[in-house]
Structure 1
Amino acid sequence: MKKSLIALAVLAASGAAMAQSSVTLFGIVDTGISYVNKDAGGSNSHYGVGTSGNATSRLGLRGTEDLGGGLKAGFWLEGEIFGDNGNANGFNFRRESTVRLSGNFGEVRLGRETTPTFRTSLKYDVFGATGIGQFMGYKAWSAVPAAGIADADTIRKDNMLSYSTPNFNGFNANISYAFDENASGAGKSGRYFGGNVGYDNGPISATLAYGKLNLVGGDRDEIELGGSYNFGVAKLTGLAQQVKYKWDGAPSQKYNNYMIGVSAPVGGVGEVKAQYAYYDQKGNDTKAQQLSLGYVHNLSKRTALYGTVSYLKNNDNSVLGLKAKGVYDGNVLAGVNQTGVQVGIRHAF
């Protein structure tokens, strides 16, 4: 009888512990057909089945454990998947790989994740930073830092220590530092430091962000201010960004990028989106403009059909190209304009 009571007590304790922790499998599969004209050859068009036209296709695991007293431990593992070829190069967790500790003090994360500066762009881009309609302010504008610097576009960084504050009546903040893990005396290239402060309350949202990436022989500085207001019938968003390369003993290069967008619900099952972006590439002495229109039709809470069309106008010397993942993602000849179309289906689980 005593052994039975002990066994029941162990089972009860085990059940209580399991009830306080959870692991979730989640993901998105987004696959469609894309068309983009005028590639880097100047005349060839590209078309076919691609991925991530409306939302980045992904597969992930996330979990939390309640440690008591308001303290929680957790993890997040997330990798990109490609519906068009089934991850021909193999699956990894390069989208995010973090362990977390949270409580009344906020949250601390360790690992690879999005930078606080890119989160601002992602927050106000009505196309969710994916597909041919996305705002393209985040890229390695200068060809120099691409050599030997991982994640030169500062979208994500490895080896990052991040702290996010609790929400104080709508106010929030984040600060992050990514170690380069170079040997002592090898320089600081690859290190990233950034942060943001924001206000999100009701229909109003605003965020100010700053980040610095150490390069070989210089730095990449970026600062941006974004905001949105939800009128109910439509949501208006805007973003101003400056990316500046500061070189040792050489002139700096500056790139000012601006975006304004609007999204509106339609009939309770759909959403129309429009966005205009202006890329003032002072570092290349040129400019580009992008106009994108899209529609998403929700078949259910998890499944949607979508269509997007985008037009990119390049001035002389500008070589920006539309991004249609799995079909075309590159530059064009200087001064060549480009048009792209995407239609597809997105399913979340």
Structure 2
Amino acid sequence: MKKSLIALAVLAASGAAMAQSSVTLFGIVDTGVSYVDNADGKDAKYGVGTSGNATSRLGLRGTEDLGGGLKAGFWLEGEIFGDVGNSAGFDFKRESTVRLSGNFGEVRLGRETTPTFRAGLKYDLFGATGIGQNMGYADWAGSGIADGNTIRKNNMVSYSSPNFGGVTANISYAFDEKAIAGTKAGRYAGGNVGYDNGPLSVTAAYGTLSYGPAGDRDEMSIGASYNFGVAKIAGNAQQIKYKPNGAPNEKFNNYLLGVSAPVGGVGEVKLQYAMYDQKAADTKAHQLSLGYVHNLSKRTAVYGTVAYLKNKEGSAMALNAKGVSTSVGMKADGVTGLNQAGVQVGIRHAF
């Protein structure tokens, strides 16, 4: 009888522990067909690609309730390339963090997106993917260091505050860990402050990255959106400034303005304009993107995007059609200032 009672007690304790913990497998598979003209000199590129509407991904996340409002958790997430089946292998470079949260906010350790990138992502109607995405977050000066675009950083410690009536803040610091001996190359520090309450959202951010003995990259942005119900308007202004040691500063100013509207309760149409004022090179580029997403269910959607990129005064930017045309410049055959048009159609499935 005693053994039975002990077994029941152990079983009950195990059930209670399991009830307080959870692990979730999740992901997105987004694959489509893309066409981009003037992608290689004056030649077009077309074929099956990935992540036209949302970045394909596979991940694991979990939480454990420690009691007293304290929770522990983890997040592991890697990118999926549906067009080639991850022929180069799978990793967790999208995010690999462990976290602790409570009434004080949340602390994360590991690799994840930076607060400066997250601030701008909130106002990009194309979610930083596909040919319609905002391309302001680039390593404009070609620093050559890993994650020079500051979208993500390794070895980062982050703190996110609780929500105070719609106001939140985040601050992050990434250690360089002597990636390049004798320098601080890769060291990042940044933060953002945002207000999200009802239809209004406003976020400001600032960050700085050391790219070694050459100097630093500073970036700042402010973005806002307002949802009127029948339509949502979003905008963002960003400046990236490279401060080379012993040389003049190099500025790159980027501006974004977009509007989206629901269609029939199952779809969304979005129109976005971006201007890239590359002051350091005395060039400009204009990008106009139009997209439509039609939800077949809560998990599955079909989409289509068309985009036009006008390069002026020698600008050499390119539309990003992942898996088909991902060049960052169009200087093949000695030609600069080529314009581009692109089309993407695809299927997105979430699980």
TM-score over 0.5 (shorter chain):
yes
Unaligned 5+ residue runs, structure 2? none
CA shift for structure 1 position 184? 10
CA distance in 2, matches of 1:185, 1:296: 48
Partner of 1:100: 99
**Secondary structure at the residue paired with 1:229?**
strand
Kindly provide the CA deviation profile for residues 134-155 of structure 1, in whole angstroms up to 9, marking residues without a partner as x. Answer: 0000010012x11xx1100000
**Secondary structure at the residue paired with 1:119?**
helix
Kindly provide the CA deviation profile for residues 213-249 of structure 1, in whole angstroms up to 9, marking residues without a partner as x. Answer: 0012200000000000000000000000000000110
Alignment of structure 1 residues 168-187 onto 2, 5 Å? 168-182=164-178, 186-187=182-183
Q: Are residues 262 and 183 of structure 1, via their aligned partners in 2, closer, same or farther at CA, if it must alter by over 3 Å? A: closer
Partner of 1:60: 59
Alignment of structure 1 residues 19-58 onto 2, 5 Å? 19-41=19-41, 43-58=42-57
Partner of 2:10: 10
Q: Are residues 273 and 183 of structure 1, via their aligned partners in 2, closer, same or farther at CA, if it must alter by over 3 Å? A: closer
TM-score (norm 2): 0.97
Any conservation in 1 of the 2:179–2:185 contact (CA below 8 Å)?
A: no
Aligned residues: 345
CA shift for structure 1 position 121? 1.6
2:330 to 326, 329, 332: 332
CA distance in 2, matches of 1:328, 1:35: 8
Q: Which runs of 4+ in 1 moved over 2 A?
A: none
Any conservation in 2 of the 1:111–1:161 contact (CA below 8 Å)?
A: yes
Alignment of structure 1 residues 1-349 onto 2, 5 Å? 1-41=1-41, 43-143=42-142, 145-146=143-144, 149-182=145-178, 186-216=182-212, 217-330=214-327, 331-333=329-331, 334-349=336-351
**Secondary structure at the residue paired with 1:325?**
coil
Any conservation in 1 of the 2:179–2:186 contact (CA below 8 Å)?
A: no
Any conservation in 2 of the 1:121–1:129 contact (CA below 8 Å)?
A: no
Residue 179 of structure 1 aligns with an amino acid whose one-letter code is F
Identity within the alignment, %: 75
Unaligned 5+ residue runs, structure 1? none
Any conservation in 2 of the 1:311–1:340 contact (CA below 8 Å)?
A: yes
Kindly provide the CA deviation profile for residues 268-317 of structure 1, in whole angstroms up to 9, marking residues without a partner as x. Answer: 11100000000000011100000000000000000000000000000122
CA distance in 2, matches of 1:109, 1:325: 29
Residue 35 of structure 2 aligns with an amino acid whose one-letter code is Y
**Secondary structure at the residue paired with 2:120?**
helix
**Secondary structure at the residue paired with 1:15?**
helix
Any conservation in 2 of the 1:137–1:279 contact (CA below 8 Å)?
A: yes
CA distance in 1, matches of 2:52, 2:107: 32
Residue 339 of structure 1 aligns with an amino acid whose one-letter code is A
**Secondary structure at the residue paired with 1:107?**
strand
